[in-house]
Amino acid sequence: MSQIRIIFKRELAAYFSTPLAFVFIVIFQLLSGAFTFYLGNFFERGQADLASFFGFHPWLFLFLIPAISMRLWAEERSSGSIELLLCLPVTLWQATLGKFLAAWTFSAIALALTFPIWITVNYLGQPDNGAIVTAYLGSLLMAGGFMAIGVCISATTRNQVIAFIITVVVCFLFLLSGFGLVLDVLRGWLPQLIVDTVASFSFLTHFQSLSKGVIDLRDIVFFALLITGWLYASTVVLNLKKAD
Amino acid sequence: MIKTENLTRRYGDLIAVDSLSISVEPGQVLGFLGPNGAGKTTTMRMIAGFIAPSAGTVSVCGHSLTANPVAAQACMGYLPEGAPGYDEMSVQGFLRFIADIRGLDGDFRRSRMADVIERLHLAPVLRQRLETLSKGFRRRVGLAQAIIHDPQVLILDEPTDGLDPNQKQEVRQLIQDMAADKIIVISTHMLEEVDAVCNRVMIIAAGRLLADDTPDGLIARSRYHNAVSLSLAAGSLDKIKTDLAALPQVASVELDQATGRITAFPAGDQPLLPDISRLASDRSWNLKELHLERGRMEEVFRNITTGHNA
């Protein structure tokens, strides 16, 4: 447990020791603000809720989460520090979990810093604050899902740009796996059972109910299993090609 | 101790390390010698637990690297090739991270931190980021992290690479200071380094162990071992060559045209030097130098790795 904490601390500090943290947080705030007010018509809707704020999170995360996750293993590979880290008395699982938790916490900090919009909506009307808390939770879980995918893909390459692009593509497929774009391709040649399974992996479907304030245990279990699965896959990938 | 049995690593069709069985005891400073691509780094990586063997076993301090890697890694310090580290961290932050993950705490942690900082002269750069360090300081930070927990076993892949002669000397001194009750394995290209710090040498080429000896034992394999070399301030070289060849205990005499140095090779175990120096004073040779050769490590290395002597 303490090994995970030590790696977590180091990784989180690494984000803040470069301008990346500040660039990321500023861009996240600007984009989420711009989307909410201009594309989401926050004022024109005339409703005291944050639907127009949370509605854009899947699309923001699609590009911003891979930007956080891309360095996690790819940087270790390209600098050679992976050899140092994995020869310390640390298991692959501890290292992966520590890194994931640090990156996830970093995204949680960025998310938490959007609190002014919460204050704004409370100033303007009487929103359902319970629903907003649930939506924040859903947003955080979705970020965790994207991040776990990013950790695994970062573990496969030494090139951060490649890690970024492939993570975006995979996240995009997961985001839209419940929609025609992905399903129509599969429907023609795969049995319905598999098509339904693919459809059930859609981040968007699972996020949408949470973002409306509905806590369905299945959505939470979905994200928890997805994160565990991708992190496990990361340890398998690392074990297979540590030194490559 | 370190023990490997039939340790083998394949990359596709290439056999990087081929059935290596070695055993290293406390007090030994083992030098791995070999041409580039001989399998030195791969062997060290398997001992350190970075890559898994394709076949065979390796254990350190009684812990198998496949069954219980964390226990084995806890009793070992490792400097990977090129001394990698986290560029964005300060030297102090980096060493603290390693100390934390090695589980050091309290007074022991404080005294170990102070000790490695002093031994490796890191005080002036403690607050600098690793990415701003010179090659020499980087290497020393790598060494510091490897010894911070005072490990029983120390694996150092090219510890003096990129250091200037003074720094090399310091690192060799450091290795010797720690050597008494530990196992130290170093890899190097520098033959004189093996002679200076190691008490056991292994020569590997193409993944196979070709020689396992002490540095003196290895040097004794040289044909220059106990040969006598001399050069003249003035006089005829050919005359002297004939005189030397006439001595019964001289097997052959060679003249190096470039340096004008004559070397007489011994026929048996009898010392050559007394007879040659007597001869020189009898015949009043005008000598510039006269010395007994210990043997030449380069020559032994070349012979073994190119297959003449193996």
The pLDDT tens digits of the residues spanning A45-58 come to 777 678 888 888 89
Residue A117 near residue A36, CB atoms below 8 Å: yes
Domain identity same for B88 and B194 = yes
β partners of residue B188: B33
Please state, in angstroms and rounded to a whole number, the distance separating the CA atoms of residues A177 and B115.
57
Contacts of A235 in chain B (CB under 8 A): none
Residue B146 near residue B156, CB atoms below 8 Å: yes
Judge whether B169 lies within some domain: yes
Q: Measure CB to CB from residue A81 to each of B81, B84, B102 and give the nearest one.
A: B84
Residue B273 has pLDDT above 50, yes or no: yes
Domain identity same for B26 and B166 = yes
**Both structure tokens of B266:** 């011994």
Judge whether B163 lies within some domain: yes
pLDDT tens-digit readout, A4-55: 999 999 999 999 988 888 999 999 999 988 888 887 777 777 776 788 888 8
- What mean pLDDT, rounded, does chain B reach? 89
Q: What ipTM describes this predicted complex? A: 0.89
Domain that holds residue B189: 2-219
Please state, in angstroms and rounded to a whole number, the distance separating the CA atoms of residues A179 and A182.
6
- Integer Rg of chain A from CA: 19
Judge whether B308 lies within some domain: no
Residue that is last in its domain, among B219, B239, B263:
B219
Contacts of B153 in chain A (CB under 8 A): none
Domain identity same for B263 and B175 = no
End-to-end, the C-alpha distance of chain B in Å comes to 28
- pLDDT classification of B310: cutoffs 50, 70, 90: very low
CATH number, domain of B208, equals 3.40.50.300
Looking at residue B29, what is its pLDDT?
A: 94
**Both structure tokens of A88:** 């310390």
B48 touches chain A (CB under 8 A): yes
What is the tally of structural domains in chain B? 2
Looking at residue A4, what is its pLDDT?
A: 96
Q: Choose between B98 and B135: higher pLDDT.
A: B98
Average pLDDT value for residue range A112-132: 88
CATH number, domain of B233, equals 3.30.70.100
Please state, in angstroms and rounded to a whole number, the distance separating the CA atoms of residues A173 and A161.
19
Domain identity same for B28 and B153 = yes
Judge whether B31 lies within some domain: yes
Average pLDDT value for residue range B259-276: 84
Cβ contact, residue pair B45, A6, below 8 Å = no
Please state, in angstroms and rounded to a whole number, the distance separating the CA atoms of residues B78 and B83.
10
B61 touches chain A (CB under 8 A): no
Residue B236 has pLDDT above 90, yes or no: no
Judge whether B243 lies within some domain: yes
CA–CA min distance B287, chain A (Å)? 55
β partners of residue B234: B286
Judge whether B306 lies within some domain: no
Residue A231 near residue A92, CB atoms below 8 Å: no
Judge whether B309 lies within some domain: no
Please state, in angstroms and rounded to a whole number, the distance separating the CA atoms of residues B138 and B132.
9
Domain identity same for B124 and B251 = no
Residue A211 near residue A54, CB atoms below 8 Å: yes
Write b or e for each residue in B81-111: b if 16 or more Cβ atoms lie within 10 A of its Cβ, otherwise e: bbbbbbbbbbbebbbbbbbbbbebeeeebee
Estimate the crossing angle of helix A71-79 against helix A129-154, to 10 degrees: 30
Domain identity same for B187 and B242 = no
Residue A1 has pLDDT above 80, yes or no: no
Task: Find, among A195, A1, A181, A202, the residue nearest to A94 by Cα.
Answer: A1
Cβ contact, residue pair B74, A89, below 8 Å = yes
Domain identity same for B246 and B214 = no
Ramachandran sector of residue B58 (left: φ over 0; alpha: ψ -120 to 50; beta: rest): beta
Domain identity same for B122 and B236 = no
Average pLDDT value for residue range B282-302: 86
A208 touches chain B (CB under 8 A): no
Domain identity same for B148 and B176 = yes
Residue B63 has pLDDT above 70, yes or no: yes
Domain identity same for B12 and B93 = yes
Judge whether B174 lies within some domain: yes
CA–CA min distance B212, chain A (Å)? 27
Residue that is last in its domain, among B201, B219, B237:
B219
Would you tell me how many other CB atoms lie within 10 Å of the CB of residue A119? Answer: 9
Domain identity same for B10 and B121 = yes
Domain identity same for B189 and B88 = yes
pLDDT tens-digit readout, B29-54: 999 998 888 889 999 999 999 999 99
Q: pTM higher than 0.80 for the full model?
A: yes
Please state, in angstroms and rounded to a whole number, the distance separating the CA atoms of residues A217 and A198.
19
β partners of residue B24: B2
